[in-house]
Amino acid sequence: MKIEKYANPTRFLALQEKMQPWLTGSAAFIIAIGLYLGLVVAPPDYQQGETVRIMFIHVPSAWNAMMVYTLMAVSSIIAIVFRHPLADMAAKAAAPFGAVFAFLALATGSLWGKPMWGTWWVWDARLTSTFVLFLLYLGYIAVWQAIEEPRRAAAIARIVAIVGFINVPIIKFSVDWWNSLHQGESIFRAGGPSIYPTILWPLLVMGLGYTLMFFALEFSALRSEVLARRIRQMEIAEAQGS
């Protein structure tokens, strides 16, 4: 089975109809397990106390905020190079969810920062670059909202997604490149994770749950986007026929 064939909207709709219940159910089940492990099973941290539980929302949100923008940039490149009909629609459908993830990362980071750093916000390198990511999401969404003609909107939106992607590695490596209050990498590091397993496993489970939740939402939104595009084409055809 070749994935490329699902670039055809009709085939994608058939795939989405089959996969949607599994994606939605799996996401809900895994997030429920993650919340139980994080809120009930995981012990308070010896330094952060109960505040450590914010991490089970904050970190998966930050991971997904970067992942979604990466997918948008890749989809935009595919749209330019291969002219896949679903590529622009996939990026457009993903943007609102990425913006929500970025907002959650910023909001929960502030909630964590107040008791840990003594302030809601500092212009830390990682916080600032994440805020820039949130603005990039809003800018991308604004392009689609402001320009009615889909082809012109897609052309500009692709540039925003591709150029803005430079901010993703900046977020990732900001704590290494600049002095930062934000803690360094504690999971995907050369010496192995520095987090206790009782904290690490709920975090990884929540990360998986959030990722599945995104794809469940993305598939549903992309279906709506495909159907809306078809309705628009039918209306144009009827207007030209009359």
The predicted-structure confidence for 42-88, as pLDDT tens digits, reads as follows 888 777 777 888 889 999 999 999 999 999 999 999 999 988 878 99
Grade residue 1 by pLDDT with cuts at 50, 70 and 90: very low
State the average pLDDT over residues 6-27: 85
Of the candidates 23, 16, 160, the one whose C-alpha atom is nearest the C-alpha of residue 88 is 160
Token pair recorded at residue 76? 């935009």
pLDDT of residue 185: 58
pLDDT exceeds 70 at position 239: no
State the average pLDDT over residues 211-229: 92
Ordered DSSP codes for 72-120: HHHHHHHHHHH--TTHHHHHHHHHHHHHHHHHHHHHHHHHHHHHHHSSS
The secondary structure of residue 43, as a DSSP letter, is: P
Grade residue 197 by pLDDT with cuts at 50, 70 and 90: confident
Rounded CA-CA distance 114/188 in Å is 26
Contact criterion met (CB below 8 Å) for 218 and 94: yes
Where are the chain's structural domains? 57-181+196-241
Tens digit of each residue's pLDDT (9 = 90 or more) over 116-149: 777 777 888 888 899 999 999 999 999 999 998 8
pLDDT exceeds 50 at position 95: yes
pLDDT exceeds 70 at position 193: no
Number of H helices, E strands in the chain: 7, 0
Mean pLDDT of the chain: 86
